[in-house]
Structure 1
């Protein structure tokens, strides 16, 4: 049965492509959860409730990182490009251009 994560008939997609789509969807869901927690944390007045939300947000961030790592292992070109952007200093756009040119 089709879901929103597929834009092509799922039965025509390989198992590898369906797994990839699931991981992309998982990454998106984790990013959304991180954003939702950020909003809740910014408004929460109760310190203990805010601490729980902050802890939960860290878990979502960990899951986001694991999803991203899986995707980067599945797509070596992505890893090569992101190595020029992530964990660097300086202009992010310039780093992105450098990474893109490295892959092309």
Structure 2
């Protein structure tokens, strides 16, 4: 993991400000999760109860920091938003969450078509970052 925080894989001048910020967020998230792991291991191995509580407190702080970074990513990237909405805070088995979310959306669409009122047109979903969209961004940046 340490190598990923050394720098970008591409020249910074070739990347948008958003891509550089997302990189910063992803590296920060990796560091927060690594710190959670370290504190958890240290606390479990620790024989002093008071120190153990301090280490667990520190671990929970790192979890909070990671959650904040994850939320920042969700707010800025449609793919993160979509997948986090699919998998987080559900009670279905994780491996079935996608199917459950898809079938729920299908059922909601079927239920709304049975009503007398016309269904609202959904807002356009934010576009995912693709090579095509990166090329378009590049053209817009160089103009």
Q: Is the 8 A contact 2:35 2:59 kept in 1?
A: yes
TM-score scaled by length of structure 2: 0.63
Gaps of 5+ in 2: 106-124, 126-143
Q: Is the 8 A contact 1:37 1:54 kept in 2?
A: yes
Secondary structure class of the residue paired with 2:87: coil
**Equivalent position of 1:69 in the other structure:** 71
The 10-residue stretch of structure 1 (39-48 or 72-81) with the greater mean CA deviation from structure 2? 72-81
Q: Which has the higher contact order (CA 8 A, sep 6+)?
A: 1
TM-score scaled by length of structure 1: 0.84
Residue 47 of structure 1 and its aligned partner are, at CA, apart by: 0.7
Instruction: String of CA shifts for 1:29-72, please: whole Å, max 9, x gaps.
Output: 00100011111111111011001101111110000000000000
For the aligned residue pairs, the C-alpha RMSD in angstroms reads: 2.3
**Equivalent position of 1:8 in the other structure:** 10
Gaps of 5+ in 1: none
Give the length in aligned residue pairs: 101
Taking structure 1 as reference, are residues 47 and 29 closer, same or farther at Cα in structure 2, changes over 3 Å only?
same
**Equivalent position of 2:83 in the other structure:** 81
Q: Which has the larger radius of gyration?
A: 2
